[in-house]
Structure 1
Amino acid sequence: MSEAAWSALLDRWEQDLQTLAAACDGSDHGSIEPWERPATPLPAELADRARRLVARQRQQADVARATLIELRGHRDALDRIPVSRDGSAYLDIRA
């Protein structure tokens, strides 16, 4: 894999990171396509860029994890609402 191909792959991973950030803040629900592991090592010239990207990925993974926990809490609250067809339902979430 050439340096240009590696650079393009890093560009793609940066775009995937933006897609994940948009999904976590609710502004977009894009998809991230699978990728294949490169056959050659990362060129030394791109190592600093790759390290910065990994650090940003770790930060965004923490945000995604927190978002998932929050969404699970909302889902659990919805699961506590009784199914009723004859009127409004009120839920005391302090219970």
Structure 2
Amino acid sequence: MRATDLHEAASVVCIRTPHIRTSEPAKALATLVDEAEIALSRHRYDAIVATGGETMNALLERLSIHAFDLIREREPGFPSAALVLLMDERCCLP
């Protein structure tokens, strides 16, 4: 399913790379971030979960998110953060 096919009332969405491995991981990551950006532009979600540092870095970069506060570490290597928004509003990322 592509982000453009998501129902606008969907409260939970899972976007992932294809099951088949590719010889172009950068292209797969770019496509994944494209899909996430489309999904985020169509609906307001309470949280974003991304596995892998490269994936989260690419997503944060695409969304122009340059500041966040680390809140806690749910599991080793799996942190939770809150986005620092204008006027010090916060949006949690589990």
In the superposition, the TM-score normalised over structure 2's length comes to 0.27
Larger relative contact order (CA 8 Å, sep ≥ 6): 1
